[in-house]
């Protein structure tokens, strides 16, 4: 039987409680492993004597290892390939920003350099979105909470991580229990990330969205809408058939009522599919009663097999102008970075042969820093 990650918090606490060991020691173990990733669990100091044989027989400090870290030419983006103990791999992406660049409401922005980590929640994905490379892998398996947290551990040894976005491989809400536990660990000692600096992205798993106000009330929610009506949504996102747009919007309305939080809406711009001015008006009418921030995402080609093209800059700007000017909806355009390492929205796919060659990529504007 494979040993579990020490960052599988629920399993570790259960084992400790069964052995009469206080769960108070769990965060102390995490702190030691975080700062000493090559350690053995027998190296962790000041634990009860009964803890050491339990840890060595059932847990490992880390169950994954960093196989490679590819930097973009501008050094602002790093794509991590992380090998799991079952032989599968996932990708995570570090994105570096300087919040002092640009303006907000015509005024200079405060802040400074910081890094965001885009993490994966599954190996592959069941959703099959036609514009997303991860969907071409099919679904392999869910990650444990420990395997999710270990992505943060690996990244933390490269740079200090301030924000985490669940926008990597997989549909986070299809791995709900592990997602919730991983975020609870990330926001506790020793990581201590602010829940407001964590964003969970979903295609719209309605029953899971309904549980978020109870389990993760202050974490940001981003919805991959990508179309203003059900027909177009089903054409480009087959899983949308299970989550009708009307019911999804009802769930988001309830979510906002319960959390009093804005929702981030992700909208990929596909030439001739969903990027016309009429689509902007449809989207505006759909969202006008919501508290939202719309993020327009230039499509990132996925090899030579894609049937989609990137919208023209003129179409993207017109789309933004309609949403802002007619419907007073805050609308951003996703910042493009790191085009040489294929670390983009929709481009994460584990293919070791392709990773030896260059690819196209773009990276999101850090939505946790939007003033909302």
Residue 158 belongs to a domain with what CATH number?
3.20.20.70
**Residue at 210 is within a domain:** no
Co-location of 80 and 105 in the same domain = yes
Residue 300: domain span: 225-338
Domain annotation covers residue 348: no
The question of whether 147 is a catalytic residue gets the answer no
CA distance 180 to 97: 27
52 with 97, same domain: the answer is no
**Number of domains comprising the chain:** 3
Residue 99 covered by a domain: yes
Q: What whole-number distance in Å separates Cα of residue 209 and Cα of residue 224?
A: 13
Rounded to whole angstroms, how far apart are CA atoms 278 and 287?
A: 14
Distance CA 297, CA 88 (A): 29
78 and 194 in one domain? yes
**Residue 362 included in any domain:** no
| Shared-domain flag, residues 50 and 77 | no
Angle at 186 (CA atoms; ends 60, 10), nearest 5 degrees: 50
User: Of 184, 199, 214, which one is at a domain's C-terminal end?
Assistant: 199
The residue out of 181, 199, 217 marking a domain boundary is: 199
Which residue, 247, 319, 225, 238, is CA-closest to 278? 319
Residues 6+ apart with CB under 8 A from 218: 195, 196, 259, 261
Same domain, 141 and 237: no
Contact 327, 309 (CB under 8 A): no
To the query of whether residue 307 is one of the catalytic residues in this protein, the response is no
* Domain assignment of residue 360, yes or no: no
End-to-end CA distance of the chain: 47
In a domain, residue 365? The reply is no
In terms of Cβ atoms closer than 10 Å to its own Cβ (0-12, 13-18, 19+), residue 37 is middle
Taking only the tens place, the pLDDT of each residue in 120-176 is 999 999 898 888 877 778 899 999 999 999 999 999 999 999 999 999 999 999 999
Rounded CA separation 263/294 (Å) = 9
Considering the domain architecture, whether residues 82 and 190 belong to the same structural domain is answered as yes
- Same domain membership, residue 162 and residue 245: no
The reported pTM is: 0.89
Is residue 78 domain-shared with residue 32, that is, in the same domain? no
Q: CB neighbours of 271 closer than 8 A, spacing ≥ 6? A: 299, 308, 309, 310, 311, 312, 315
Burial of 85 (0-12, 13-18, 19+ CB in 10 A): middle
Within 10 angstroms of residue 268's Cβ, the number of other Cβ atoms is: 28
Q: 4 has which bridge partners?
A: 59
Residues 40 and 133 in one domain: no
Q: Point out the catalytic residue in the list 15, 91, 147, 368.
A: 91
Domain annotation covers residue 20: yes
* 83 and 172 in a common domain: yes
The residue from 125, 129, 132, 345 that is catalytic is 345
Q: What is the largest CA-CA distance in the chain?
A: 68
Q: Which residues have a Cβ under 8 Å from the Cβ of 236 and sit 6 or more positions away? A: 129, 130, 131, 226, 227, 270, 273, 274
Q: Are residues 170 and 91 in the same domain?
A: yes
Q: What is the pLDDT along the chain (372 residues), one digit of tens a residue?
A: 789 999 999 999 999 999 999 999 999 999 999 999 889 999 999 999 999 999 999 999 999 999 999 998 888 899 999 999 999 999 999 999 876 665 555 666 666 788 999 999 999 998 988 888 777 788 999 999 999 999 999 999 999 999 999 999 999 999 999 999 999 999 999 999 999 999 999 999 999 999 999 999 999 999 999 999 999 999 999 999 999 999 999 999 999 999 999 999 999 999 999 999 999 999 999 999 999 999 999 888 776 657 889 999 999 999 999 999 999 999 999 876 555 555 444 444 555 444 433 333 333 344 334 333
Q: Is residue 359 part of a domain?
A: no
Question: Do residues 54 and 71 both lie within one domain?
Answer: no
């Amino acid at each position: 039987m494979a040993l579990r990650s020490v960052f599988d918090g629920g399993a570790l606490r259960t084992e400790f409680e069964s052995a009469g060991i206080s769960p108070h020691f769990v965060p102390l173990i995490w702190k030691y492993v975080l700062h000493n990733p090559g350690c053995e669990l027998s190296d962790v100091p000041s634990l009860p004597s009964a803890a050491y044989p339990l840890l060595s027989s059932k847990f490992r400090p880390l169950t994954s290892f960093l196989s490679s870290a590819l930097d973009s030419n501008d050094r602002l983006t790093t794509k991590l390939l992380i090998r799991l103990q079952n032989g599968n791999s996932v990708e995570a992406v570090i994105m570096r920003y300087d919040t002092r660049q640009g303006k907000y409401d015509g005024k200079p922005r405060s802040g400074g350099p910081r890094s965001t980590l885009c993490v994966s929640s599954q190996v592959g994905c069941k959703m099959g979105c036609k514009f997303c490379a991860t969907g071409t892998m099919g679904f392999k398996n869910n990650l444990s909470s420990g395997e999710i947290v270990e992505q943060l551990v690996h990244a933390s040894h490269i740079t200090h991580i301030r924000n985490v976005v669940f926008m990597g491989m997989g549909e986070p809400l299809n791995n709900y229990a592990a997602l919730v536990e991983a975020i609870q660990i990330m926001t506790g000692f020793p990581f201590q990330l602010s829940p407001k600096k964590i964003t969970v992205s979903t295609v719209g798993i309605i029953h899971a969205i309904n549980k978020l106000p109870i389990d993760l009330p202050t974490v940001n929610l981003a919805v991959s809408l990508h179309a203003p009506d059900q027909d177009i949504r089903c054409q480009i996102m087959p899983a949308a058939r299970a989550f009708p747009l009307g019911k999804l919007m009802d769930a988001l309305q309830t979510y906002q009522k319960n959390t009093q939080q804005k929702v981030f809406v992700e909208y990929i711009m596909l030439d001739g599919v969903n990027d016309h001015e009429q689509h902007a008006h449809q989207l505006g009418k759909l969202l006008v009663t919501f508290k939202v921030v719309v993020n327009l995402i230039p499509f990132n080609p996925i090899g030579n097999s894609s049937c989609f093209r990137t919208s023209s800059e003129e179409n993207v700007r017109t789309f933004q102008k309609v949403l802002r000017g007619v419907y007073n909806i805050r609308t951003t355009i996703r910042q493009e970075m790191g085009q040489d390492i294929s670390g983009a929205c929709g481009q994460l796919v584990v293919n070791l042969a392709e990773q030896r060659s260059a690819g196209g990529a773009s990276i999101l504007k850090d939505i946790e820093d939007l003033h909302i």
